[in-house]
Structure 1
Amino acid sequence: MDKALPFISLILFSVLVGSCKKENFLGKTKSTDLDENTVFADSAYTMNFLNGIYSDIGFSVAPNRFKIKNASGFYLNGGGLDAASDEAEGALSGAVNTYIQFATGTVNPAIITDDAWRISYTNIRRANIFLKHRPHADLSDKLKTRTKAEARFLRAWYYFILLEHYGGVPLMGDSVYNAADDIPQVRNTFAECVNYIVSECDIAAADLDSVQVAENYGRVNKTACKSLKSRLLLYAASPLFNGGQIAESPELRAITGYPSADANRWKLAEDAALEVMKMGYYGLLVDNTTEPGYGFYQVFTLRKSPELIFARMQGPNRELEGLWQPPTRGVSNPAAYPYQDLAEAFGMANGRSITDPTSGYDASHPYNNRDPRFNNTFIHDQTLVIRRPELTKFPVNIHIDATDPSRVSSGQDAIYKGTPTGLYTNKMLNRDVVSDWFNTNTNRCFPLIRYAEILLNFAEARNERLAAPDAEVYSAVEEIRKRAGLNPYTLPTGLSKAGMRTVIQNERRLELAFEGHRFFDVRRWKIAETTENQQMHGTEPTKTATGTTYRTINVRKHTFDKRMYLWPIPLSEVSKSTQLLQNPGY
Structure 2
Amino acid sequence: MEVKFPTGYYKYRNNDKRFFNMKRYNHAKLCLQPAVFAIILCAALASCSKNKFLEETTTTNLNEETVFKDSAYAISFLNNIYSNVGFSFSPTRFNNNGGLDAASSEADVPRVGVAATSTGFADGSITPATVTGDAWSTCYSQIRAVNVYLKHSANLPFDDYLKKRTAAEARFLRAWYYFTLLKHYGGVPLIGDSIFTDQDKIAANRSSFAACVDYITSECDKAALELPVRQQGLEYGRAGAGACLALKARVLLYAASPLFNGENAFNEGVSEPLRSIIGYVAPNTERWKAAADAARVVLSLGTFQLYNTTSQVAGVTIEPFRDLFYRRVNNEYLFARMQVGTRDFETCWMPPSRGGNGFGAYPYQELVDAFLMKNGKRIADEQSGYNPNRPYDNRDPRLEHTIMHDSSLIVLYTDFIQPIMGQPLKLYENAGADAVFKRTTTGYYVNKMLKPDIAGNCIHGTERCWPLIRLGEIYLDFAEAENEYLGPTPDVYDAVIAIRKRAGISAGADEMYGLEAGMSKEEMRAIIRNERRIELAFEEHWFWDVRRWMIADETENNTMHGMKVVRNGDSQAMFETFNVRKRNFRNAMYLFPIPQSEIAKSEFLIQNPYWSTAN
Q: So what's the TM-score if we normalise by structure 2?
A: 0.87
Aligned to 1:435: 456
Aligned to 1:44: 72
Letter paired with 1:433: I
CA distance in 2, matches of 1:422, 1:181: 54
**1:137 correspondence with 2:164:** no
**1:395 correspondence with 2:395:** no
Letter paired with 2:349: W
Aligned to 2:336: 311
**1:521 correspondence with 2:576:** no
Aligned to 1:454: 474
**1:555 correspondence with 2:580:** yes
Q: Does the residue aligned with 1:196 lie in a helix, a strand or coil?
A: helix
**1:251 correspondence with 2:251:** no
Q: Does the residue aligned with 1:30 lie in a helix, a strand or coil?
A: helix
CA distance in 2, matches of 1:240, 1:22: 37
Q: Does the residue aligned with 2:344 lie in a helix, a strand or coil?
A: coil
Q: What's the RMSD between the two structures over aligned residues? A: 1.6
Letter paired with 2:277: I
**1:238 correspondence with 2:244:** no
CA distance in 1, matches of 2:318, 2:331: 16
1:156-215 deviation per Cα after TM superposition (whole angstroms, max 9, x unaligned): 000000000000000010010001112120000000000000110000000000011001
1:269-317 deviation per Cα after TM superposition (whole angstroms, max 9, x unaligned): 0110001011111010114798998111011010011101100001121
CA distance in 2, matches of 1:126, 1:191: 24
Aligned to 1:322: 347
Aligned to 2:198: 179
1:479-502 deviation per Cα after TM superposition (whole angstroms, max 9, x unaligned): 000000000225110110000000
CA distance in 1, matches of 2:419, 2:191: 52
CA distance in 1, matches of 2:245, 2:33: 26
* Gapped regions of structure 1 (runs ≥ 5): 1-19, 68-76, 401-408
1:475-522 deviation per Cα after TM superposition (whole angstroms, max 9, x unaligned): 001100000000022511011000000000000000000000000000
1:571-586 alignment, distance < 5 Å: 571-586=596-611
CA contact (8 A) 1:270 1:458 kept: yes
Structure 1 residue 334: deviation in Å?
2.5
CA distance in 2, matches of 1:479, 1:23: 35
1:317-349 deviation per Cα after TM superposition (whole angstroms, max 9, x unaligned): 111000111100112243111001100000111
1:315-394 alignment, distance < 5 Å: 315-388=340-413, 389=415, 391-393=419-421, 394=423
**1:194 correspondence with 2:213:** yes
Aligned to 2:50: none
**1:56 correspondence with 2:84:** yes
Q: Which region of structure 1 is more displaced relative to structure 2, 203-212 or 381-390?
A: 381-390
Aligned to 2:189: 170
1:410-429 alignment, distance < 5 Å: 410-429=431-450
CA distance in 2, matches of 1:136, 1:26: 26
Aligned to 1:97: 116
CA distance in 2, matches of 1:79, 1:364: 31
Pick from 512, 521, 531 the counterpart of residue 555 of structure 2.
531
Letter paired with 1:275: V
1:65-99 deviation per Cα after TM superposition (whole angstroms, max 9, x unaligned): 001xxxxxxxxx20000000011111121122101
Aligned to 2:39: 30
1:44-74 deviation per Cα after TM superposition (whole angstroms, max 9, x unaligned): 000000000000000001000001xxxxxxx
CA distance in 2, matches of 1:521, 1:550: 30
1:342-393 deviation per Cα after TM superposition (whole angstroms, max 9, x unaligned): 0000011111111112111111111111000000001111112211125203
CA distance in 2, matches of 1:562, 1:293: 43
Q: Does the residue aligned with 1:279 lie in a helix, a strand or coil?
A: coil
Aligned to 2:228: 209
**1:223 correspondence with 2:223:** no
Letter paired with 2:230: V
CA distance in 2, matches of 1:135, 1:149: 12
Structure 1 residues 506, 21: CA separation in 2 closer, same or farther (over 3 Å shift)?
A: closer
CA distance in 2, matches of 1:241, 1:543: 49
CA distance in 2, matches of 1:396, 1:279: 42
Structure 1 residues 552, 22: CA separation in 2 closer, same or farther (over 3 Å shift)?
A: closer
**1:463 correspondence with 2:483:** yes
Aligned to 2:12: none
Q: Does the residue aligned with 1:495 lie in a helix, a strand or coil?
A: coil
Structure 1 residue 42: deviation in Å?
0.2
* Gapped regions of structure 2 (runs ≥ 5): 1-25, 41-59, 508-512
**1:269 correspondence with 2:291:** yes
Q: So what's the TM-score if we normalise by structure 1?
A: 0.91
CA contact (8 A) 2:27 2:235 kept: no
CA distance in 1, matches of 2:39, 2:346: 29
Query: Percent identical across equivalent pairs?
Result: 49
1:443-478 deviation per Cα after TM superposition (whole angstroms, max 9, x unaligned): 210100000011001000000001x31101000011
Structure 1 residues 166, 295: CA separation in 2 closer, same or farther (over 3 Å shift)?
A: same
CA contact (8 A) 2:220 2:247 kept: yes
CA distance in 2, matches of 1:289, 1:38: 48
Structure 1 residues 289, 495: CA separation in 2 closer, same or farther (over 3 Å shift)?
A: farther
CA distance in 1, matches of 2:317, 2:69: 54
CA contact (8 A) 2:27 2:79 kept: no
CA contact (8 A) 2:358 2:439 kept: no
Aligned to 1:505: 529
Letter paired with 2:273: E
CA distance in 1, matches of 2:364, 2:290: 35
**1:296 correspondence with 2:321:** yes
Structure 1 residue 107: deviation in Å?
1.7
